Amino acid sequence: MSTPTSAGTILTVRVRRQDRPQDRPYTQIFEVPYQSDMNVISVLQAIAARPVTADGQATTPVAWDCNCLEEVCGACSMLINGRVRQACSCLVDELLRQGPEISLAPLTKFPVVRDLVVDRSRMFEALKKVRAWIPVDTYADIGPGPTISTEQQEQMYPLSRCMTCGCCMEVCPQFNDASDFIGPAPIAQAALFNLNPVGKMTASERLRALMGPGGITDCGNAQNCVKVCPKEVPLTWAIGKIGRDTTIEAVKRWLLK
């Protein structure tokens, strides 16, 4: 099939499905009428509106996650033509320049709940482990906080763009079922909150969490993470900074013994 130029073109969509977490996966093929400016979410919505396979068999609608539809929430991460990316910002016209078929599959590094929906709880538990927040003593008005310089803002903002989508985890060779590695995204969030003037008060707690099992020393420096991040978060920079900071923290702890 050539790149579509008319509304009469039919898209061939191959979806890897799984009915329940304990079930074996299987593949179904669907045919979807092409429309201009479609993204992958539009394709899945078309399948949901008419859940019939290419060979005419009625089936259940494909399950997937999405929310914002503008690459902010990170919920719609999936493998699209074998590459991890966001379904909302992935355009069909772009995909069809790569070949005549679109293939969709769930992320492989997280447990499948159903079809393209995965359980990313491991990422959120990792954020808890590194205390990716700024604790407060009171919610009363105690005046303005410390001033953040332009230079600090320029360092912090790119890190704040992380949407916990899981793309970096998907391509990280150290992040898997056989490893306790916490992954690139939580490390970058620890770096973000340690840069904050208020967050620095609890920086040692985050660093000590990353000095334990599954922490910074488990990173193999493959640098796949920074290549696939849809928000261009400087993950390798953050990993390098945390590596230096944990070394300094270790020396301080040794000297204080």
245 in the same domain as 129: yes
Same domain assignment for residues 35 and 140: no
Q: Final residue of a domain: which of 101, 118, 135?
A: 118
Full pLDDT tens readout for the chain, 257 residues? 444 445 678 999 999 999 999 999 999 999 999 999 999 999 999 999 999 999 999 999 999 999 999 999 999 999 999 999 999 999 999 999 988 899 999 999 999 999 999 999 999 999 999 999 998 888 898 888 888 999 999 999 999 999 999 999 999 999 999 999 999 999 999 999 999 999 999 999 999 999 999 999 999 999 999 999 999 999 999 999 999 999 999 999 888 87
pLDDT at 8: 72
- Give the pLDDT of residue 5: 47
CATH number of the domain at 237, please: 1.10.1060.10
Q: Are residues 111 and 165 in the same domain?
A: no
Q: Which residues contact 221 (CB under 8 A, 6 or more apart)?
A: 236, 239
Does residue 205 sit in the same domain as residue 103? Answer: no
Q: Classify residue 232: in a domain, yes or no.
A: yes
**Are residues 77 and 16 part of one domain?**
yes
CB 188 within 8 A of CB 110: no
**5 in any annotated domain:** no
CATH of the domain at 67: 3.10.20.30
Q: What is the pTM of this model?
A: 0.91
Task: State which of 118, 134, 168 marks the end of a domain.
Answer: 118
The domain boundary residue, chosen from 97, 118, 139: 118
What are the residues facing 101 on neighbouring strands? 12
Cα 146 to Cα 138, 159, 169: the distances in Å are: 16, 20, 34
Whether the CB-CB separation of 34 and 4 falls below 8 Å is answered with yes
Q: Looking up tokens 């000590």, which residue turns up?
A: 208
Please report the pLDDT score of residue 99 as a whole number: 86
Distance of CA 257 to the CA centre of its chain: 40
Do residue 146 and residue 251 come from a single domain? Answer: yes
Beta bridge partners of 84: 79
The amino acid occupying position 15 is: V
Q: How many Å apart are CA 98 and CA 120, to the nearest integer?
A: 29
In a shared domain, residues 185 and 244? yes
Q: Which amino acid is at 257?
A: K
Residue 218 and residue 243 in contact, taking contact as beta carbons nearer than 8 Å: no
Count of domains in the chain?
A: 2
Residue-level pLDDT at 49: 97
Tell me what pLDDT residue 235 has: 98
Q: What pLDDT shows up at residue 6?
A: 57
Can you give the residue range of the structural domain that contains 144? Answer: 121-255
